[in-house]
């Protein structure tokens, strides 16, 4: 019995180890293809950091594998993810093939991976500043918008009077896309930064308001009844009963607000502000430097995805008492 | 023996209901008399059940004693003081435990200390956890509890204030039959230990006979008190005792639920 189990574990282990080899194979394919196949005619032969980049990726991977053999938990994680890592090299290889090697799609719109990589190496200073400006704008706008949304939502959900006067306002203003306010914002606010903060905040404000007001309004009355027989005053009912009970919906609003604020941020920067990742995209486009556009798209993807991850991590911490929540 | 213990220990918890009625407006603009004027006295430390069909106003009466709803007419008193609004001296339990799902068991039980801005009482909370037998589950969240455990936690939460009255609105209604009987004994044990006045709404006549000193039998349309039945049995009560059946039969008769048995069988 235990022998069979041992054999099964051994076999599973072997299978896992085979999986671990996959990324190395696809790495070799990507590298050999890049080095051996001739470039398409229209590309200037120039030294590229792409092979070095591939090498760094695989070395990092191998380092992880080496460490993982000492940590069994990490090993199972790695072998589970190995096919995805392998696919990354494969995607890079296909991209390289379709652009640099075969030129199936035209320049300058579709640069090869080496060119996009070169943008990071040559233009990292401007990229870094742009990222800093975008993040500063994003955080300022997001926190202001979320704060206003929470106050408005809780007020509307809690008080009939506040709800009476402010619900129509939310219904009228909310559906207007924040970006439609760009012309107005740029004239009303003294600086383009404050105008953009307003736009980002506006984009966050609406979903946070809607979700927190419906969260508060949907708190079962029995919670309030019980709390009142336990000696709770109004303040306690709002802060210790209504808000905690509404948190699951409030977090959904915060998540929706985060995604809409990304949109507002990038569009505001493309149209009005002279800094940030959005500005960098439109500036690069005006010079037909599409390699830079892709470089920024990749940054945006990484940064925004991680911001969402952070929000969900906070949510999971705060809502530990809930089961069966949305996974990210 | 239990009786004397009750009468000695309880000085507080007298409920007086004086001509209390409740009228609701319905959606078509008419009025519904949920409760016709009723008068009822509950002695300190007494265990009184309210039974009756849906719509007899038993929950309505309980909510008015809790202070959550105001009566349309009449007055309610606790120990001679008129009831105006909810107060932690009148604890409340529903069929749903309504524990706050974001708080652990311990913090749920301590919630009223927090609401009353008392900065001590952790000792009291521990004592309550022991009283209801939830040791080891202090840090559990409500979703991790069974129905019976959740209801125990709710009971501890209501009792932590040492209320003079505990108002129970079908607190055992959602439990399975075995947990229910077990909880009935728990409830009696706690009642005898704390000598809190208990006002207990239930659909279950056996439960009422098993638990109560007196049973208030109510009728509907309009909600009113039909008859008050004293339960002269000592405790613990045998559920198969002839007196138990007799009382049960009597209450069924009052509620017009007893049909003639074609076999002519008599208890």
Domain boundary among A79, A110, A141: A110
For residues A132 and A52, membership in a common domain is answered with no
Residue A327 counted as domain residue: no
Residues of A in contact with B92 (CB under 8 A): 225-226, 229
For residues A199 and A130, membership in a common domain is answered with yes
Residue A116: left (phi > 0), alpha (psi -120 to 50), or beta? alpha
Q: Which residue of A has its CA nearest to B163?
A: A230
Q: Which residue of A has its CA nearest to B108?
A: A227
Asked if the Cβ–Cβ distance from A323 to B143 is below 8 Å, we say: yes
Domain boundary among A70, A87, A110: A110
For residues A17 and A41, membership in a common domain is answered with yes
Mean pLDDT of chain A: 90
> For the domain that residue A171 is a member of, what is the CATH number?
1.10.3720.10
For residues A176 and A228, membership in a common domain is answered with yes
> For the domain that residue B242 is a member of, what is the CATH number?
3.40.50.300
Residue A75 counted as domain residue: yes
Residue B174 counted as domain residue: yes
Q: Which residue of B has its CA nearest to A323?
A: B143
- Total domain count, chain A: 2
Residue A117 counted as domain residue: no
Residue A57 counted as domain residue: yes
CB of A220 within 8 A of CB of B78? no
For residues A101 and A167, membership in a common domain is answered with no
Q: Which residue has 């940064």 as its token pair?
A: A303
Domain boundary among A110, A133, A162: A110
For residues A78 and A143, membership in a common domain is answered with no
List the single residue in B68, B96, B116 with the smallest CB-CB distance to A228.
B68
What tens-digit pLDDT sequence spans chain B (267 residues)?
344 444 445 689 999 999 999 998 888 888 888 999 999 999 999 999 999 998 899 999 999 999 999 999 999 999 999 999 999 999 999 999 999 999 999 999 999 998 988 887 888 899 999 988 899 999 999 999 999 999 999 999 999 989 999 999 999 988 899 989 999 999 999 999 888 999 999 999 999 999 999 999 999 888 999 999 999 999 999 999 999 999 999 999 999 887 666 565 555
Residue B180 counted as domain residue: yes
**ipTM of this model?**
0.89
Nearest-CA distance B112 → chain A (Å): 5
Domain that holds residue A54: 2-110
B63: tokens are 């909510």
Asked if the Cβ–Cβ distance from A229 to B157 is below 8 Å, we say: no
Give residue-wise pLDDT tens across range B150-178: 999 999 999 998 999 999 999 998 889 99
Is A121 strand, coil or helix?
helix
Residue B262 counted as domain residue: no
Domain that holds residue B52: 2-254
C-alpha gyration radius of chain A: 26
Residue B261 counted as domain residue: no
- Total domain count, chain B: 1
Question: Which residues, 6+ apart, have CB-to-CB distance to B42 below 8 Å?
Answer: B13, B14, B15, B16, B48, B197, B199
Give residue-wise pLDDT tens across range B79-129: 999 999 999 999 999 999 999 999 999 999 999 998 988 887 888 899 999
Asked if the Cβ–Cβ distance from B98 to A220 is below 8 Å, we say: yes
Check whether A171 has a pLDDT greater than 50: yes
CB of B115 within 8 A of CB of B165? no
For residues A140 and A13, membership in a common domain is answered with no
Residue B265 counted as domain residue: no
Residue B148 counted as domain residue: yes
For chain A positions 187-226, those within 8 Å of chain B (CB to CB) are 220, 222-223, 225-226
Asked if the Cβ–Cβ distance from B86 to A228 is below 8 Å, we say: yes
């Amino acid at each position: 019995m235990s022998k069979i189990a041992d054999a099964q574990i051994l076999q599973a282990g072997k299978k896992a180890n085979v999986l671990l080899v996959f990324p190395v194979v696809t790495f070799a394919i990507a590298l050999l293809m890049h080095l051996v196949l001739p470039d398409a005619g229209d590309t200037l032969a120039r030294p590229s950091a792409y092979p070095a980049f591939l090498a760094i990726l695989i070395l990092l991977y191998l380092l992880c594998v080496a460490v993982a053999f000492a940590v069994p938990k990490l090993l199972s994680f790695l072998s589970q993810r190995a096919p995805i890592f392998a696919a990354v090299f494969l995607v890079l290889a296909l991209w390289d093939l379709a652009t640099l090697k075969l030129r199936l799609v035209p320049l300058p719109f579709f640069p090869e991976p080496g060119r996009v990589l070169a943008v990071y190496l040559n233009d990292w200073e401007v990229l870094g500043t742009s990222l800093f400006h975008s993040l500063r704008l994003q955080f300022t706008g997001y926190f202001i918008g979320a704060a206003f949304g929470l106050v408005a939502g809780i007020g509307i959900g809690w008080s009939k009077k506040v709800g009476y006067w402010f619900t129509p306002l939310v219904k009228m203003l909310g559906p207007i896309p924040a970006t439609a306010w760009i012309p107005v914002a740029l004239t009303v606010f003294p600086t383009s930064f404050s105008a953009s903060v307003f736009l980002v905040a506006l984009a966050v404000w609406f979903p946070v308001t809607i979700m927190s007001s419906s969260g508060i309004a949907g708190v079962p009355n029995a919670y309030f009844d019980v709390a009142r027989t336990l000696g709770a005053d109004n303040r306690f009912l709002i802060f210790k009963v209504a808000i905690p009970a509404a948190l699951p919906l409030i977090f959904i609003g915060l998540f929706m607000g985060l995604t809409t604020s990304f949109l507002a941020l990038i569009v505001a920067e493309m149209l009005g502000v002279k800094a940030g990742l959005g500005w960098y995209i439109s500036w690069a486009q005006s010079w037909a430097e599409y390699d830079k556009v892709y470089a920024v798209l990749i940054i945006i993807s990484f940064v925004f995805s991680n911001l969402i991850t952070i929000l969900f991590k906070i949510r999971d911490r705060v809502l530990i008492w809930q089961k069966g929540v949305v996974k990210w | 023996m239990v009786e004397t213990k009750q009468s000695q220990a309880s000085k507080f918890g007298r409920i007086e209901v004086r001509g209390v009625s409740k009228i609701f407006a319905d959606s078509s603009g008419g009025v519904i008399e949920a409760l016709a004027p009723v008068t009822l006295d509950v002695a300190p430390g007494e265990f009184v059940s309210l039974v009756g069909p849906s719509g007899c106003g038993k929950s309505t009466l309980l909510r008015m004693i809790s202070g959550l709803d105001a009566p349309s007419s009449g007055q309610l008193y606790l120990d001679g003081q008129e009831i105006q609004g909810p107060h932690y001296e009148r604890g409340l339990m529903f069929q749903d435990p309504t524990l706050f799902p974001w708080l652990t068991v311990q913090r749920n039980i301590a919630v009223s200390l927090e609401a009353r801005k008392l900065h001590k009482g952790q000792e009291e909370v521990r004592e309550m956890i022991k009283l209801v037998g939830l040791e080891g589950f202090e840090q559990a969240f409500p979703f991790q509890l069974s129905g019976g455990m959740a209801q125990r936690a709710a009971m501890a939460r209501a009792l932590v204030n040492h209320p003079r009255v505990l108002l129970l609105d079908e607190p055992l209604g959602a439990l399975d039959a075995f947990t229910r009987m077990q909880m009935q004994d728990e409830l009696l044990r706690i009642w005898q230990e704390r000598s809190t006045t208990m006002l207990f709404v239930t659909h279950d006549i056996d439960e009422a006979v098993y638990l109560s000193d007196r049973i208030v039998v109510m009728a509907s349309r309009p909600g009113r008190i039909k008859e008050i039945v004293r339960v002269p049995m000592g405790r613990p009560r045998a559920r198969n005792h002839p007196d138990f059946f007799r009382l049960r039969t009597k209450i069924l008769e009052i509620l017009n639920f007893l049909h003639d048995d074609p076999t002519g069988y008599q208890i």
